[in-house]
Amino acid sequence: MGVWQLLMVATVMLLGVFGVLAPGVPGTWLVWAAMLWWSLHERTELAWILLASSTGLLLLTQVVVWQLPARRFRGSGSPAGW
């Protein structure tokens, strides 16, 4: 993998990390996609272990988010924008 591809993977990962903070940006999926791209080009045992680990963490966080109850702001007395 060349330097430019590594820089692109790092840039996508950075966008994903910052995307977690921005509403509407699929940050975790961007980080996972960059990890997938990197592991497909590296093809080492470490790359596959990191991809499997990141996939497991991604699926775990998705399950946890789906299990959390929905937030209900209107009935709590908070302003509409919060």
In sequence order, the 6+-apart residues with CB closer than 8 A to the CB of 50 are: 35, 39
Average pLDDT over residues 66-79: 67
4 vs 70, residue with greater confidence: 4
Q: What is the pTM of this model?
A: 0.76
> Can you say how many angstroms the Cα of residue 37 is from the centroid of all Cα atoms in its chain?
14
pLDDT in tens, 5-63: 999 999 999 999 998 888 888 899 999 999 999 999 999 999 999 999 999 999 999 89
SS3 of the chain: helix, strand, coil, percent, to 5: 70, 0, 30
The phi-psi region of residue 45 (left if phi > 0; otherwise alpha if psi is between -120 and 50; otherwise beta) is: alpha
